[in-house]
Amino acid sequence: MRMSIILTLCALLLLGACSRVKVEGPEGFAKQRARGDYRALSPEGMLFRVRTEKNYPRKDLIFWKQALRRHLTDEGYHLLDEGEAFSTERHGGILYEWAVPYAESDYIFLTALVPMGGRIIIVEAAGEHSLYALHRRSMRKSLETISRRF
Amino acid sequence: MMSRTVFSRFGHIPAGHRWRVCLFIPQVLLFLTLLVLLTGPHMLHAENYMSRTMVMQVMVADPEVTADRMVEWIEGRGGYYIYKSPDLITIRISMENLEGLRLFTEGEAEQVVSVAFEAQDLRGSIITLQSGIVSREEILERNLRYLRNADVEGTLAIEREVTRLLKEIEDLKGRLRRLENDIRFARAEIYLSFMEQTLPQTIPSSFTWINSIDFYGFVEGGYVP
């Protein structure tokens, strides 16, 4: 009896850790099985990933967007524009796009974050700039559908 | 009758001096007109001592096609290119078309990485060159005057001096022409790809989750086209 309770609790904890995010993937992307994260691939193989991290120390969007921007700029990423704010059903988020040289080409790295209570939803996508431009609108639309699954 | 009416306004001026007053007004007007005519062009010229440069970094779908389209656009507006490759195009274009070029480039680009404008005041350089030319021309003229009365040895010495002065004057005039061209035509350097050669480096953050944001880790964790 005690063993079954422990197992049930473990299973619940595992489920909680794995499926913390709900999102409608970008149009035309194929959803990929992934533990915990949401992953989708474009027909060309461009990855769109949504994951969660613990909001620790617990801070709001203003704090985290400054921290992320500062950190990636210090690392040498080149920020395009000034970042774009967006809203999900209940929360606000920020989208940053970074230019990065990779494999003798120009890539764009998308980073978006949405603090939701004790968790931070992190979205990442990257692709060669022409390919990125092709899917940007659908990825941008997808960001607004992010919510937490409890 | 009419002149009497006009003069009645200068009642306090002695009758013998009234004609002088009437002539004084057109003289003042003539002086002011001449002043505007003489100082006007200088004032305009003073504003045109600025040389401007625009540096843009953009990402385009097909750099070669974009470069060709840009050349077509600038040539249609009296500009020209001095270097063209799939990575970079260097353009000279009139000042008034510089903003149009920026808008056109933005329209052609998938992504504008950066735009920067620079301006340089060439007044000092131009005045230095102009005074250098004038002083050398004066020395040249003086040397040519001495040439008439010089003996053979003196003639040879003056010829050497004249040759040196002519070379210097031509050199200064060439530099002046280049600066005048810099004022007339803005310079635009348009990079058609992200030319940053330094790759991002990993710097540890105090916030654990921020350390997990890494482009290379992300793209190399899966297939990225």
Q: What pLDDT, on the 0 to 100 scale, is given for residue B196?
A: 59
- Distance CA(B62)–CA(B15), nearest Å, equals 86
The rounded mean pLDDT for chain B is 83
Contacts of B209 in chain A (CB under 8 A): 53-54, 56, 120, 122
For the segment B188-199, the average pLDDT, to the nearest whole number, is: 78
Q: How far apart are CA A48 and CA A41, in angstroms?
A: 6
- For residue B36, is pLDDT > 80? no
DSSP 8-class letter at B200: P
* DSSP assignments along A59-101, one per residue: --HHHHHHHHHHHHHHHT-EEEEEEEEEE-SS-EEEEEEEEEE
Domain of A72, in residue numbers: 2-148
Worst-scoring range by mean pLDDT, A91-95, B38-42, B193-197?
B38-42
CB contact under 8 A, A67 and B205: yes
Cβ separation B218–A126 shorter than 8 A: yes
CA distance B210 to chain A (A): 7
Which residue among A72, A80, A128 sits closest to B213, beta carbon to beta carbon? A72
Residue B216 has pLDDT above 60, yes or no: yes
pLDDT at A18: 46
What is the mean predicted confidence (pLDDT) over B156-167?
92
What's the gap in Å between the CA of B80 and the closest CA on chain A? 28
Instruction: Tell me the pLDDT tens digit for each residue of B42-74.
Output: 444 445 789 999 999 998 888 889 999 999 999
Chain B residues within 8 A of A59 when measuring between CB atoms: none
* Number of domains chain A is built from: 1
**pLDDT grade for B1, boundaries at 50, 70 and 90:** very low
**Which residue's entry shows tokens 């625009």?**
B54
Q: What is the CATH number of the domain that holds A110?
A: 3.40.1000.10
**Residues A125, A95: contact at Cβ < 8 Å?**
no
Please classify residue B24 by burial: count the beta carbons closer than 10 Å to its beta carbon, then call 0-12 exposed, 13-18 middle and 19+ buried. Answer: exposed
Answer whether residue B23 shows pLDDT above 80: no
Measured between beta carbons, the chain B residues lying within 8 angstroms of A79 are none
The pLDDT assigned to B175 comes to: 94
Lowest mean pLDDT among B17-31, B153-167, B203-217: B17-31
pLDDT given at position A97 = 95
Say if the Cβ atoms of B200 and A100 lie within 8 Å: yes
Domain ranges within chain B, ordered by starting residue: 2-46, 49-193
Q: Quick check: B213 and A68 CB within 8 A?
A: yes
With cut-offs at 50, 70 and 90, classify the pLDDT of residue B5. very low
Say whether B61 and A130 touch across the interface (CB within 8 A): yes
Q: Once rounded to an integer, what is the mean pLDDT over residues A126-130?
A: 91
- φ/ψ (deg, to 5) at A132: -60, -45
Cβ contacts of B88 on chain A, cutoff 8 Å: none
pLDDT of residue B81: 93
pLDDT score, position A13: 45
Residue B120 in contact with partner chain A when CB distance is under 8 A: no
- pLDDT for B39 beyond 60: no
Task: Using alpha carbons, select from A124, A52, A73 the residue that is nearest to residue B203.
Answer: A73
Q: What would you report as the CA-atom Rg of chain A, rounded to the nearest whole angstrom?
A: 17
| Band (B34; pLDDT cuts 50, 70, 90) | low
Q: How close B87 gets to chain A, by Cα (Å)?
A: 11
Hey, are the CB atoms on B200 and A107 less than 8 Å from each other? no
> pLDDT tens digits, residue range A63-108?
999 999 999 999 989 998 889 999 998 899 999 999 988 877 889 9
Contact list, A46 vs chain B (CB under 8 Å): 224-225
How does pLDDT run across A2-45, given as a tens digit for each residue?
656 555 544 444 444 444 788 999 999 999 877 778 999 999 99
Predicted confidence band of residue A125 (pLDDT cuts 50, 70, 90)? very high
Candidates B106, B111, B216: best to mutate against A (most CBs of A within 10 A) is B111
3-state secondary structure of B54: strand
